[in-house]
Every structure is written in structure tokens, then in C-alpha cells.
Homo-oligomer: A and B are copies of this chain.
Amino acid sequence: MSSERDFSDIITSLAKKRGFFWGPSPEIYGGSSGFYDLGPLGKLLKNRLENQIRSAFVRANFWEVECPTVSPAEVWKASGHLDGFIDPVTKCLKCGQIFRADNLIEEQAPGVKISGNSVEELTASIQMLNIICPSCKGGLGPVEDYNLMMKTRLGLDQDAYLRPETATTTYLLFKRFLTFFRDKLPMSVFQIGKAYRNEISPRQGMLRLREFTQTEGQIFLLEKDELEWPQFEDIKNENLPLITYQAQEKDKLDPVMTKMSKAIKEGYFQKPAYAWCVHLAYTIFRQMGFSEKNMRLRQHLPTERAHYAADAWDVEIHTDSFGWVECCGVHDRGNYDLTRHQEFSKEKLHVKVNQKPVVPEVLEIAFGIERPLFCLIDNSFQSESKERDTDWLRFPPEVAPIQVAVFPLMGKPELLEPATEIFNRILDSGFIAQFDTGGSIGKRYRRQDEVGTPFCVTIDYTTIEDGTVTVRDRDSMDQVRIHKENLVEGLKNLIRGTTQFHTFK
């Protein structure tokens, strides 16, 4: 069965059927591409991922902020998005489909040089080169600038845009941060929130969205901090799976486990502070539950980098659906953004170093949450087998949407009462738990396997006699009886991974 279907279809239909995500949304009105709903399990999973991200940033001394998702046009003029966040598009005069004009020309007339051309020049090229609609062979209309930001209006007449990332809104708070951090650099802040990109024709489901949840950590620091970064000491002996741009130029695409201290010595990273950020990004993804074997860190080729970026590395995750997926970027943004906002706002966005004004540098970790969410479902998928008559999800216990399920053997008051008490105790200790009374215990195990719940607890008549309950492990399908007084502590150790189930009593 599986081999005949595209793996991404298997994951998507499983996700829809079991309540992870639905879409394109709104489904009952035909759907709008690039928009998805998170169902109950997808939302639990997303909350888990957000908590892991928060906890990793907070331990690395970042403070969280929340800025508006809608900002006036002048902000986006200053940031460069109004003029630069643009694709040239053309519409088929016959079937009405919209395409990126530059992509079409490059596909149909390889070798033609159009880089930097204006929309008028692109329109002329389309006519001259006889470029046609790839879908219906129709003629194409004039090329227009298409800004990827969604535009709206405040009050009656103020132009505003939905933010395409969170970074800009964070930078605007620079002066406030100086007060909050008592004028001491470096200052580290992060933001988790919605961002919007009006992609022409988004495909690949959850991987390319028009509305998504962006996470961005920013460090404001001086050039000297970039080179003398004390926290680098803590990670200098850690190994990361790196692919440098030099290796890529030699077609070596397998990551090489490299000690951080060596990566600095060899010049893979110029700046210890930046290297530390790459390591933090890697750590965040590990804490979201990705295994080392499915991860690699890839440096951008010099030609790939944004105009403002001195260096850029991506975290990539391997999936069965799409191969390697770019999930996170780590950027050395220099002082481009603050300089621009200083210029446009006329506010001083600098600190004094030896009595001279200096605009600080910025290092950034940026990623959307929906991609790792999809990749984690992909990576957790397990086919049905002769032991188990359903395909199931092997989520790491710390990020599983539901961590513990509680089953009273039957829906009778004498069992419901102790089961509810145990359920509440599990909730009190901070776990996400589900109470299920429907169907046979086997059927209930199966349902929990399908959504990746690592542990199930059954309360039966023996519980009333001797206070023990049955704990069942998803992965091994093994069961043990333990006393209910030891249950919460035991679950804690199992979920944190400090105890393995086979040693658990």
C-alpha cells in the first residue's frame, strides 16, 4: 500500500483523520491555499513545541516579547520590505493562473540574462521570447510587481501591512530594551508569533504557508562581543553535523560531525558568538524531539545569502515526505536593520562606546513552527506491523501531544472515582493527559498509539484492592503494575527519559 502513495500524502491524510491539521482552510468554503487549521492534537503538539522553544531560549538568557502583527507602511519602507520583498508576476490571459515571471523565462529560455530587470523589461522579454503559460499554453499578460506582504488599512486611510517576519517589530523596541537591560549589551530577546506571506501559489501543504507562526531570537551585541563570547566555552567540546559551503562546492553533501572548537579553528565560523547561535538553534531542534541522525547544519553558499547577511547557516531536517527540509536559519545581520530604522525614524538607535555612538550588531535565529511540526509527525510515523494492526506515531514522550492516557477499566462509579483522582493528580503535575472510558482497553490502547501517546494507565478492580495500576508502554507494548502513590514520580522519570520502561517498576 504505502509504496504506491506519496509519503507526504500518507502523513497529511493521517494528520487530517486524527485531528492534527485540516485544510486548506476554510475547508467548507473550498479552502484557500496556504492556510491550515490545527485540530486538537496539532494544537497540543504545537503548544509542546512552543514550550520547548521557550524553555531553551530562557535558559540561554533570552527574554520573550510580543509585538503587533500589523504595522504602518513606514515601518516596512524602512525595513526594506516595501521595495525589496517583491516577486515579478504575470497572469495567463487564457486560464487566469498566476506565475513568477522570472521563473517562467528562466525555464523556457535558459541562459537569457534577466537578473535585475524591471517589470517593463520582463514584459518585453516575455513577448520577444514567446514565453507562454506552462499550464494551458495561453499568452501572458504584463509583468507586475507583486509584494509578498499582505496589505491592509488602519482607520480610514493609513496603509499598513501584516508582518512577513517578527524581527523588524523586535528591532523597533531597541531603545526600550536598553532601559530594560539597564544599558548593558549583549541583550537577547525572542518572539513567537504570527507572520504572513502572500505567496503566489503556495504548495507543499504545511511547508509553505501564507500564515504561519514564526520564532525569532535576536542578540544585540558589539563587534568585540562577537569575537569574545564567554558562553562559547560551555559548548566548545560539542559536536555538530556541519556541511560548510566549501564542502558543498566540492559536492560533499554528507554532514561531518565537527567539534565546535575545531570549527572555529578551521574558520568554518568566523565569530564564536555566531557559532554559539548555530549551536543554540541545533539545541532547540533537538529539544523539539528531532534525532541527531535526521539533522544537519548547512552553510549558505555566498551566492545564496541575503544582502544584509555576513554569514548564514540553516538547520535542515530529513523527512520521508520531502527529503531534507530547510527548517531554521541563523543569520549574522550586522547592523543593517538598526541603521535603517535609525535613519528613517530619526531616533537614536545606538549605544556609546568610548563616548562614540555605535549601532550594535545583530545575530538572529529564525524559524517557523509549522515546518518542524510537520517534520516531527513525518519522523514519528511507524507503519502497521504484525504486532500492531494500525500505523502509529512514535513521538518523543516530552513533546507528545498527549503524554498519559488514563483508563478506568469500566465506566462504573467505583472505578471512575479513583481513576478521576489519579487523572487529576497527573494533570496537577503538569502533564497533558486524556481520560478515556470508551470501548475495550485494547481499542483504547490502539487509539492512543494512533496519536502517539507514550504511556497509558489503567485502573481496575485490583486498584481498589491494593492500590496498584497498570502502566503500558507504547513502544514495547509492555505493561507493569505499580502502586498509584509512585505513579506520578515514575511517569515524570519516564517522560523526561531519566528512566527506561524496561527498568521501570
A-to-B contact residues, CB < 8 Å: 17, 19, 22, 25-29, 32, 34-40, 42-44, 46-47, 54-55, 58-59, 63-72, 74-75, 78, 89, 91, 98, 146, 150-156, 158, 160, 162, 169, 172-173, 175-176, 179-180, 182, 189, 194, 196, 198, 200-201, 210-211, 341, 344-345, 347, 349, 427, 430, 432, 438
Contact = CB atoms under 8 A, between A and B. Distances in A.
A70 to B, nearest CB: 6
B68 A211 contact: yes
A75 B29 contact: yes
Given A64-B47, A156-B91, A427 B59 contact: yes
Nearest to A22: B176
A153 B67 CA distance: 22
Contacts of A69: 69, 194, 211
B67 A25 contact: yes
Contacts of A89: 156
Given A35-B68, A146-B156, A26 B91 contact: no
A43 B71 contact: no
Contact of A153 (B26, B151, B200): B151
A35 B70 contact: yes
Contacts of A175: 27-28
A504 to B, nearest CB: 21
B19 A38 contact: no
Contacts of A211: 68-70
Q: Which of A17, A46, A68, A71 has the most CB of B within 10 A?
A: A68
Nearest to A191: B43
Given A69-B194, A98-B155, 4 more contacts: A27-B173, A38-B67, A58-B427, A155-B200
- Which label, helix, strand, loop or mixed, suits the secondary structure of the A interface? mixed
A80 to B, nearest CB: 15
Contact of A36 (B44, B68, B78, B156): B68
A40 B154 contact: no
B151 A152 contact: yes
A200 to B, nearest CB: 7
A146 to B, nearest CB: 7
A347 to B, nearest CB: 4
Nearest to A74: B29
Q: Which of A35, A189, A344 has the most CB of B within 10 A?
A: A35
A39 B180 contact: yes
Contacts of A179: 17, 19
Contacts of A59: 427
Contacts of A176: 19, 22, 27, 37, 39
Given A38-B65, A39-B65, A176-B22, A29 B72 contact: yes
A173 B66 contact: no
A390 to B, nearest CB: 16
A208 to B, nearest CB: 14
A64 B37 contact: no
Given A19-B176, A44-B64, A160-B32, A196 B70 contact: yes
Contacts of A156: 89, 91, 98, 146
A-B pairs, top 4 by smallest CB distance, nearest first, are A40-B63, A38-B66, A28-B345, A150-B152
A38 B189 CA distance: 12
A335 to B, nearest CB: 16
A329 B75 CA distance: 35
29 contacts: A19-B176, A19-B179, A22-B173, A26-B75, A29-B72, A29-B75, A29-B172, A32-B72, A32-B154, A34-B154, A35-B68, A36-B68, A37-B65, A37-B173, A38-B65, A38-B66, A39-B65, A43-B63, A43-B64, A58-B432, A68-B211, A69-B194, A70-B211, A91-B156, A98-B155, A146-B156, A151-B152, A162-B162, A430-B430
